[in-house]
Structure 1
Amino acid sequence: MKFNKTTEAESKYQDLDKMELNEILKNINKEDILVPVAVEKAIPQIEKLTEQIVLKLKKGGRLVYIGAGTSGRLGIVDASECPPTFGVEDNLVIGLIAGGDKAIRKAVENAEDSITQGWKDLNEININDKDVVIGIAASGTTPYVVSTLKKCNEKNITTGCITCNTNSPLGKTAKFPIEINVGPEFLTGSSRMKAGTAQKLVLNMISTTTMILLGKVKGNKMIDMQLSNEKLVDRGTKMIVEEINVDYNTAKILLNKYKSVRNSIENYKKTGLI
């Protein structure tokens, strides 16, 4: 089947530099509205990959995102938000980017073109067949990502991908591909826009669903979140009030004593004591 790079296709809009400010904003928004619809079509693919992730993590594996540029940064953002949101260890969900940590802030020239560095980066974290590796690349052609997933396949490591082109080399390489066709960008080829938004939505779906199924959520609350600031302490206190029907001050005492919402609730239910 022919591979057409829709992420590089000509924008439907001409003469952007002659548009009024309001027109630019409205047209960007008009395109952005298409993204959730495209993501919805890929839910069956997202479900298959997420199912594999949950199975692996329940058996002691890890989830690793690997990408370059915007795609790599999005993976790092999602991975870095899992510990504070769900109280998991820092190494349960890991984000890797072509060019290393310095590439998070500044582009590293030619980093995405390496066909060997990605596997080296995975070896730095002792990758193994308990883990799941998700390659993130809007184009579906990034050498750093495609070559790494090929190596993972050789080593019997579960592979998935998030790409915004159908029938791409990356989509054909990943055992569990997710393909989100959002169409041409408003600004031709600027895949940080709709493609980046689509990738972020899918990452949110994967990590949140995984953590729910791993028991890191109670009802609709982040019961294992890290209490890293006053806002979160207040939120945690209110969760305890709601769950065990005590006053705010009592809940605050419990939280200070047991250091987590889950522990506070479980110990109070077990002993009835503050």
Structure 2
Amino acid sequence: MSTISESEPEFRAAAQQHGSDALAEEADTESSTTELQLAAAEGDPSHVSDLLSRGANPNDPASGYYGKTALQAASLAGHAPVVELLLSAGAAVNAPGGNNGGRTALAMAAEGGHRDIVEMLLQSGADVNLPASRYVGRTALQAAAEEGRRNVVARLLDAGAHVEAPPARYMGRTALQAAAAGQHLDIVELLLARGAQVNTPLMRYKGLTALQGAAEGGNVEIVERLLAAGAEVNAEGSYYGGVTALYAAAEAGHLEVVERLLAAGADAQQSAGNKHWTPSQAATSRGHTEVAKLLWDAESPDTPQG
């Protein structure tokens, strides 16, 4: 099977087809969800116990676009008693989720910040380093970092989670990229201390570097921390819709971040995005006049000021 980097037509076809396919599969999801999966999501232990006693299969697969196994549904919602019941009934702890993300029970518990369930799943054999699935997938560590779940991030790292685990091919994030884009400074600090690489390349389809994510969100502290760690200030954006850190900050109107990036050597004339605009054009299009003026001056530093 060819990869995206090997076949641009395949990449474009997948992106174009995703919308219609997603709608069809999403419509099928609710009707194909089992009674046990619904009960697990609702968190009623007595109902779940009754269904299991009557032969409900705890390992019915996730179906449809957003489908979840019973264990995944309970883990995401934080229903610890239901999780315990399902594990006792033999629920597969590492089963994949639905097509959109394919996240395991551990990744879902991590996403929700449910430390007790994370612990329960780890003790039941959950693989902390299962790879992120192809489309919008996240490892457990990436999911926790993205949502700002610091205590879960710390537990997963202690359990051996790979801080540089490869991201999903579509819209993927490393743990550091996810934390920076989510504006979680405490997690950025923790991940850097545990060996996260500040310049891990972004994924081609809607990926971003850690610095680009922080700049887009306007968090000056994270921007400064990443620059201090050696972040490449002029790293190019992803293949589809990607932008530089300066462009992202300019488009969002984050004046202080723009100033900091320029001081660090950001190229004010570097175009980016689907329209191949410069940062000043992006700022102008969004009505960020003060940012645009700053960037105009940076584009022509030798022009006498009137």
Which one has the bigger strand percentage?
A: 1
Shorter-chain TM band: under 0.3
TM-score (norm 1): 0.24
Higher RCO by CA contacts (8 Å cutoff, separation 6 or greater):
1
